[in-house]
Chains A and B, each alone.
Chain A
Amino acid sequence: MAILLLSMVACGQSPVTHDIRPGYGVTGIGWLSDFFPPLRGAPGDTRIYVLDSGIAGGTALILGGTHANEIAGIMAAVLLVERAEVRRGKLIVIPHANNAAFGYTDPTCPTCGPWVSFSSGNAARFFRYGSRLTNPAFQSPDSSEYIHPSGLSFAGWEARNLNRVYPGRADGTLTEKIAHAIVQLVLAEEIDYVFDLHEAGITSRLAYTLVCHPRALELGAMAVMDLELRGISMKLEPSREEFRGLSHRELGDLSKGQVFLLETPNPGQESGRHNPDVIDDPQYPVALRAGVHLSFVQEILAIGSRLGLPQVEVVGVPEFEKLQSDGLAAWLNW
Chain B
Amino acid sequence: MRWIAIWTACLFAAVGVAVGASPVLNFGFDSGTEALWTVESGSWCVEDGVLTGQSGFLLFDMDFPTDRRVQVDLVALDGESATVVGKYADDTRWVEACFTMDGVALRLNSVGREASWSGTAALAPQTTVVLAFVEDQARVIVNGEVVIQAQDPAFAEFGGRVGLAVQGTARFDNLSVTAFTGPVVITSLGQSPGALMIQILADRVGLENIYEPVASSELLDGSGALILIVGASSKGLGAAGISIDSELARGWALVHRARELGLPVLVMHIEGAARRGDLSDQIIAEFVPVADYVVVKADGNADGLFTTLTHAHSIPLATVAATAQTADVLVDLFGLWH
Q: Verify that A and B bind, or say they do not.
A: yes
Residues of A within 8 A of B (CB): 205, 217-218, 221-222, 224-226, 228-229, 233, 235-238, 240-242
Q: Does the CB pair A224–B239 fall under 8 Å?
A: no
**CA gap between A228 and B320 in the complex, in Å:** 12
- Is B197 touching A225 in the complex (CB atoms < 8 A)? yes
List the 10 closest pairs (A to B, CB-CB), nearest first: A240-B239, A225-B324, A235-B274, A228-B322, A236-B193, A221-B197, A225-B323, A221-B196, A229-B322, A229-B324
Report whether over half of chain A's contact residues are helix, strand or loop; otherwise say mixed.
mixed
Q: Can you show 14 pairs from A to B with CB atoms below 8 A apart?
A: A217-B193, A217-B196, A218-B196, A221-B200, A224-B323, A225-B323, A233-B272, A235-B272, A235-B274, A235-B275, A236-B193, A238-B193, A240-B239, A241-B239
Q: Hey, what's the 0/1 contact readout for B303-338 against A, CB within 8 Å counting as 1?
A: 000000000000000000011110000000000000
B271 interfacial contact with A, CB 8 Å = yes
B236 to chain A: which residues have CB within 8 Å?
238, 240
| Number of residue pairs A-B, CB distance < 8 angstroms | 42
Q: Contacts A221-B193, A221-B200, A242-B239 given; indicate if A236 touches B271 (C-beta within 8 A).
A: yes
Which residue of A is nearest B324, CB measured?
A225
Q: Return chain B residues, CB-CB under 8 Å to A225.
A: 197, 200-201, 322-324
**B200 CB contacts on chain A under 8 angstroms:** 218, 221-222, 225
In the complex, which residues of chain B have a beta carbon less than 8 angstroms from the beta carbon of A240? Answer: 235-236, 239
Question: Which B residues are CB-close (under 8 A) to A237?
Answer: 193
Write the B189-206 contact mask toward A (1 if CB under 8 angstroms, else 0): 000010011001100000
Which residues of B line the A interface, CB within 8 A? Answer: 193, 196-197, 200-201, 235-236, 238-239, 271-272, 274-275, 322-325
Report chain B residues within 8 Å CB of A236. 193, 197, 271
Bound together, the chains give a CA A320 to CA B319 distance in angstroms of: 27
Selected from B239, B271, B322, the residue in CB contact (under 8 A) with A235 is: B271
Which of A205, A228, A238, A242 touches B324 (beta carbons < 8 Å)? A228
Q: Shortest distance in angstroms between B8's beta carbon and chain A's nearest beta carbon?
A: 28
What is the distance, in angstroms, from A296's C-beta to the closest C-beta of chain B? 15
Q: In the complex the two chains form, what is the Cα distance from A30 to B322 in whole Å?
A: 42
* Contacting pair B324 A226 (CB below 8 A): yes
CA of A228 to CA of B239, assembled, Å = 27
For residue B239, which residues in chain A have a CB less than 8 angstroms away from its CB? 240-242
Residues of A within 8 A of B322 (CB): 225, 228-229
Cβ of B274: which chain A residues have Cβ within 8 Å of it? Answer: 205, 235
Question: Which residue of B has the minimal Cβ distance to A205?
Answer: B274
Q: Determine how close the nearest CB of chain A comes to the CB of B326; give it in whole angstroms.
A: 9
Residue of B nearest to A241 (CB): B239
Which chain B residue lies CB-closest to A240? B239
Q: How far is the CB of A259 from chain B (nearest CB, A)?
A: 15
Give the residues in chain A near B272, CB-CB below 8 Å: 233, 235
Q: Report B-chain residues with C-beta under 8 Å of the C-beta of A217.
A: 193, 196
B residues less than 8 Å from A226 (CB atoms): 324
| Nearest A residue to B235, CB-CB | A240
A205 to chain B, nearest CB (A): 8
Q: From residue B74, how far is it (CB to closest CB) to chain A in Å?
A: 31
CA distance A136 to B271 in the complex (A): 40
CB distance from B239 to the nearest CB of A (A): 4
From B270, which residue of chain A is reached at the shortest CB distance? A225
CA distance A307 to B122 in the complex (A): 39
Q: Measured between alpha carbons, how far is A232 from B235 in the docked complex, in Å? A: 25
B278 to chain A, nearest CB (A): 14
CA A238 – CA B238 in complex, angstroms? 13
Give A237's nearest chain B residue, CB to CB: B193
A sample of 17 more A-B contacts (CB under 8 A), given A229-B322, A240-B235, is: A205-B274, A218-B196, A218-B200, A221-B196, A221-B200, A224-B323, A225-B323, A226-B324, A229-B324, A233-B272, A235-B271, A235-B274, A235-B275, A236-B271, A237-B193, A238-B236, A240-B239
- The CA-CA distance from A248 to B274 in the complex, in Å, is 21
